[in-house]
A and B are shown apart, each in its own frame.
Chain A
Amino acid sequence: MPSNEVIHGLGLDDYKFGFVTDSEPVFRTRPGLDADVVRQISARKDEPEWMLKRRLKALRIYDAKPMPQWGGDLSELQETLDQTYFYVKPQEQMERSWDDVPENIKQTFERLGIPEAERRLLAGVGAQYDSEMVYHSLKEEWESRGVIFDSIEDGLKNHPELFREHFGTVIPAADNKFAALNSAVWSGGSFVYIPPGVELETPLQAYFRVNQERLGQFERTLIIAGEGSRAHYIEGCTAPVYSTDSFHSGVIEIIVNRDARFRYTTIQNWSNNMYNLVTQRALVHQGAHMEWLDGNLGSKLTMKYPSCYLMGEGAHGEILSIAYAGDGQHQDTGGKVIHVAPNTSSSIVSKSISKGTGRSSYRGLCKVYDGASNAKSNVECDALLINETSRTDTFPYIEIDEKSASVGHEATVSKVGDEQLFYLMSRGMDEAEAMALIVRGFIEPIAKELPLEYAVELNRLIELEMEGSVG
């Protein structure tokens, strides 16, 4: 039976069976991974032959690549992987009942003020979703303008040529071990296409369509922004995502065509047993703008470095990220900007907060190729340490092969000072309120870029986290 230990420790193994109903056996592959498992996944999805071949090839790459020795501690990951069910049929995954969701997760939803329907969704409980009507009317509008916003599976089925032309072109399976893994076993995610010139005011929100297919453990998203288009895609939520899985490895590929502007916002708050290893990358063509807004909370270890490949003249990439590492957590995050063409510009602003024994690392790459004349890049990373036991590191990699490039890097580390706390307390705030205010101020430059409801939730979450952080 679920208990508080379920999300605090690694005691998830029993719980994996929690959603199996007596009458309906759930389809899932057996624990661990081999070619047979991959074949089963592909067959279940009724995929074309080329995709199966891609998956099998990716599996071979995955098997051949060693476990990364940099970043976070992955020494216990293999054990987790051996026990992982690489595919669970989504329909049945929805069968988990609200009663099975641990009480403390429910309480956190309560305290965050998350609407009931959304709570169920976040807890992985299938439910009719209130905003379904909203979604349907939006979907009609989008469709009338030629926008495709589907699950990745439907994208492959309904738009095979467009899909095949772009899938895996931004992040090939051979990119890294976990990109290879995802390419072998992907399931769930979004397929988005915005026709040239189309400007969308309303953000495309992943959770609108999530009740069809829950955010997968191996989610795969492919987004194509047509020439001169504008759009904003939002994925995730600041509420803790309760998952029975302890491994998440997504791949997000975005193609931003000439003069288009695209923003991808994601805020994720994983339960603290989770390995979260994600590859997200955008190809940014001539005159186009790409912005990643990335928030990472929770998890045991997150390794995530959104990147912009600035391929065409005048392309611009921005990466704004917030990481919060609580007790026992390691956030190894940052960003990569690759300047390939002349007059490209980029900016990375990364803010991390470490509390208790939490550790945050900024890891970033700025590369300017020969010929990317007048490339400009600026990196700013600021770390805030809450306690004496908190830790932060900075690993900026800068590779410049172009003389006319201008690259700036600035890093700061600050501790919440006794003088700051006293100042706020002398105005009547208790220690936790004072701490929360300081932290909110610290992330303000990024929080103000978030959609309002996300910013509000993030602030509330920080308040919750700061309770008991002091003294």
Chain B
Amino acid sequence: MNDRPILSVTGLGARVAEEDQDILKGVDLAIRPGQIHAIMGPNGSGKSTLAKVIAGHPGYEATAGSVFFQGEDLLEMEPDERAQAGVFMAFQYPVAIPGVSIANFLRTALQARLENGEELDLFDFQELLMERMELLRMDPSFAQRAVNDGFSGGEKKRNEILQMAVLKPALAVMDETDSGLDIDALKVVAHGVNTLKAENPGMSVLLITHYQRMLNYITPDVVHVMVNGRIAESGGPEVALGLEEQGYEKYRRAQVA
């Protein structure tokens, strides 16, 4: 049973909404429960587009193929429905929500998951939040700050990890969460992912990254190389190491040929 993929992407084509050119040109990907997949690729290869299409960003549209998550057709679902089904995307550039504290934001997100008429117990929530922050070794005062408002790059990523810890997704899509981070911040993200993975081994992770260095801290089961809207190669961690030595050039040449 464990072999059934939690996420199946088949022949996926996608583009920026209302533009002609497809960015994804037939992506196939299957992630099984508990697996960590990394997608690496040069700028413009489409790896971030894949993350956004999975999460349901309104600025992108699928033009071909399908995306199934736990047997449900994700492409038919609104972003909030996807989130409630267990998909979480850690944003590359999370936006600020002035005046809304992280705690209030998370409380609203959890409340939204309840049936109509059910009220989230505030004390239970507070306890959960404190427990999650402790797990991630975060200062409780962090949750009182307004979401991403005036945050440094590292704080934004920390906030994404905290949200992931509270919302406990079945699939976490990390959209270049490591970009623009110094090594300490990178470690925070990696520590967060590893901690949550250790706590819940069934959680699947799709790690989208430009750099091999993230994979020094998070060990993937499968590494995919994406070039020009397609997956050019898939394999074990050794694929990433090969990339570090040779770069993306050979894949580009292969596609041209």
Contact = CB atoms under 8 A, between A and B. Distances in A.
Interface of A: 417-420, 422-431, 433-434, 437-438, 440-445
A428 B167 contact: yes
Contact of A427 (B57, B59, B146, B167): B167
Interface centre among B78, B80, B91, B98 (most CB of A within 10 A): B80
Contacts of B33: none
B94 interface: yes
Given A422-B79, A441-B146, A428 B100 contact: no
Contacts of B104: 437
A430 B113 CA distance: 10
A333 B80 CA distance: 36
B83 A440 contact: no
A437 B105 contact: yes
Given A418-B58, A428-B112, A428-B113, A423 B91 contact: yes
The main secondary structure of chain A at its interface with chain B is helix
The main secondary structure of chain B at its interface with chain A is mixed
B7 interface: no
12 contacts: A422-B58, A424-B105, A425-B78, A425-B83, A426-B91, A428-B84, A428-B112, A429-B109, A437-B104, A441-B98, A441-B100, A444-B99
Given A437-B100, A440-B100, A426 B56 contact: yes
Contacts of B113: 428
Contacts of A419: 95
Contact of B80 (A417, A428, A437): A428
Interface centre among B58, B83, B99, B113 (most CB of A within 10 A): B99
B109 A440 contact: no
B105 to A, nearest CB: 7
A381 to B, nearest CB: 15
B79 A441 contact: no
Contacts of A424: 97, 105, 109
Contacts of A422: 56-58, 79
B95 A417 contact: yes
A437 B79 CA distance: 17
B163 interface: yes
Interface centre among B88, B100, B110, B146 (most CB of A within 10 A): B100
Contact of B79 (A420, A426, A444): A426
Contact of A426 (B55, B97, B98, B146): B55
Nearest to B149: A441
A426 B167 CA distance: 11
A458 to B, nearest CB: 13
B223 interface: no
Given A420-B97, A426-B88, A437-B104, 14 more contacts: A419-B95, A424-B109, A426-B56, A426-B83, A426-B89, A426-B91, A428-B80, A428-B84, A428-B167, A429-B112, A437-B97, A437-B105, A440-B99, A442-B99
A425 B84 CA distance: 10
Nearest to A428: B83
Interface centre among A419, A420, A431, A438 (most CB of B within 10 A): A419
B122 to A, nearest CB: 13
A229 to B, nearest CB: 33
